[in-house]
Amino acid sequence: MQARADQLRRSGKTTAFVPTMGYLHEGHLSLLRIGKQKADDLVLSIFVNPTQFGPNEDLSSYPRSLQDDLDKAEKEGVDAVFVPTDQALYQEGYQTYVQLEKLPQHLCGLSRPVFFRGVTTVVTQLFNIVKPHVAIFGEKDFQQLAIIRQMVRDLKFAIEIVGAPIVREADGLAMSSRNAYLKEYMRPAALSLSQVLQNSRKMVQDGIVDAQLITDRALDIFSAFPEIKVDYISICDPESLDPVESVEGRTLMALAVALEKIRLIDNTILQP
C-alpha cells in the first residue's frame, strides 16, 4: 500500500481515503461517492480495529461481510481496498498510541474509555500507509470527526478532512452497521433517537432554547421505551463539545442509548 501510494504521488495523482470497519451500507457509500469527486484515486479500508473496543464490547460479534463489501466497493469505482490483518497493524511488541487530551473526555469517550485512543491510533497508521490527500468521515460519528480534525491539526498531517452528512433510512433511523443487530420489534424504540432530535429542532425553531428544557423533553420521549437506557443527551458546542446552557448559535445535540445492549448514537445541529 505504501509503495502504491508513493508511485501514485510520483505520477502527480491525488488519493481520497475512506476508512471503515466494513459491513458497508449507504452511509459508507455516500463517503465513497464524495471521495470519488475529490481525487484521482479512491482507497477504502476495511478493518475492525481491536484497540477501539472495550473488553465487554462487541468486537467478536461485529458484523462482517467482506465479499459483499468488495462487490459494493467495485460498483462505486473504488481503486483499491485495504484489508489488513490485526497482526499487520499491531505486530508483536507494538506499543505506540495516539491520544488527545480533551475532546475524548466528552460524550462517547466517557462510557467508552479506550475507544478514541484506538480510533486515533489506527487512523494515524492508516494515514501513514495509504498517504491520502483527502480523507472522508461521517458526521454520524460527530465526536470522532471532531477528534480526527483536531489530531490532523495538532500532528500536522497534510490531509484535508471532509465531513459527510448522516445518511438515514426512510423512517429516519441513522444507518449503522450495528443496525444489523436490531430485531423488527425493536424498531419503534430505535426510531426514538431521530424523533428526539427532530422534536428538539422543532422546539428550538419555536423559540425554546433552554438546554435543560430540551433535555427533559428528550428524556420524556425516551421514557416511553423502558428497554432504552440513555447513556447521554448532550447539548454542546460543536467544536469543544463543552455543554451549553442555552442554544444561542450553531449547537450540537448528540445522543447515545443502549437498546437491549445494542449501542445506538445519533446527532443533529440545533440552530435558532
Which segments within the chain are labelled E, that is strand?
Answer: 15-20, 41-46, 80-82, 134-138, 160-164, 228-236, 251-259, 262-270
**Is residue 79 within 8 Å of residue 41, measured between CB atoms?**
yes
Specify the amino acid at residue 248.
E
Residue range at the interface with ligand AMP (CB under 6 A); choices 94-102, 106-114, 168-176, 249-257:
168-176
Q: According to CB under 6 A, which one of 129, 147, 167, 209 is a site residue for ligand AMP?
A: 167
Q: Is 42 in the site for ligand AMP (CB under 6 A)?
A: no
Q: How far apart are CA 142 and CA 132, in angstroms?
A: 21
Q: How far apart are CA 72 and CA 78, in angstroms?
A: 9
How far is residue 81 from each of residues 5, 38, 49, 91, 121, measured CA to CA in Å?
A: 13, 17, 16, 21, 20
Query: What is the torsion angle, in degrees rounded to the nearest 10, for the CA atoms of residue 64, residue 118, residue 255 and residue 153?
Result: -120
- Select 173 or 228, whichever has its Cβ closest to ligand AMP: 173
User: Cβ of residue 12: shortest distance to ligand AMP, in angstroms?
Assistant: 28
Other Cβ atoms less than 10 A from the Cβ of 122: the count is: 22
How far is residue 66 from each of residues 1, 29, 90, 178, 225, measured CA to CA in Å?
A: 19, 15, 21, 16, 35
- Select 76 or 141, whichever has its Cβ closest to ligand AMP: 141
Q: Is 177 in the site for ligand AMP (CB under 6 A)?
A: yes
**Grid cell at residue 227:** 428497554
**28 tagged catalytic:** yes
User: Cβ of residue 48: shortest distance to ligand AMP, in angstroms?
Assistant: 9
Pattern of binders to ligand AMP over 5-34, x per CB under 6 A?
---------------xx-----xx-xx---
Q: How many residues bind ligand AMP (CB under 6 A)?
A: 17
- Select 215 or 234, whichever has its Cβ closest to ligand AMP: 234
Q: How far apart are CA 136 and CA 15, in angstroms?
A: 11
User: Cβ of residue 31: shortest distance to ligand AMP, in angstroms?
Assistant: 5
Q: Which of residues 107-146 bind ligand AMP (CB under 6 A)?
A: 137-138, 140-141
Residue nearest to ligand AMP as judged by C-beta position: 138
- Select 217 or 263, whichever has its Cβ closest to ligand AMP: 263
User: Cβ of residue 245: shortest distance to ligand AMP, in angstroms?
Assistant: 28
Signed CA dihedral, 125, 178, 143, 35: sign only: positive
Q: Is 36 in the site for ligand AMP (CB under 6 A)?
A: no
User: Cβ of residue 117: shortest distance to ligand AMP, in angstroms?
Assistant: 15
- The single residue of 25, 28, 106, 133 carrying the catalytic annotation is 28
- Select 112 or 140, whichever has its Cβ closest to ligand AMP: 140
Judge residue 69's burial from the number of C-beta atoms within 10 Å of its C-beta, 0-12 exposed, 13-18 middle, 19 or more buried. Answer: buried
Catalytic site positions: 28
Which spans of this chain sit near ligand AMP (rule: CB under 6 A)?
A: 20-21, 27-28, 30-31, 137-138, 140-141, 164, 166-167, 174-177
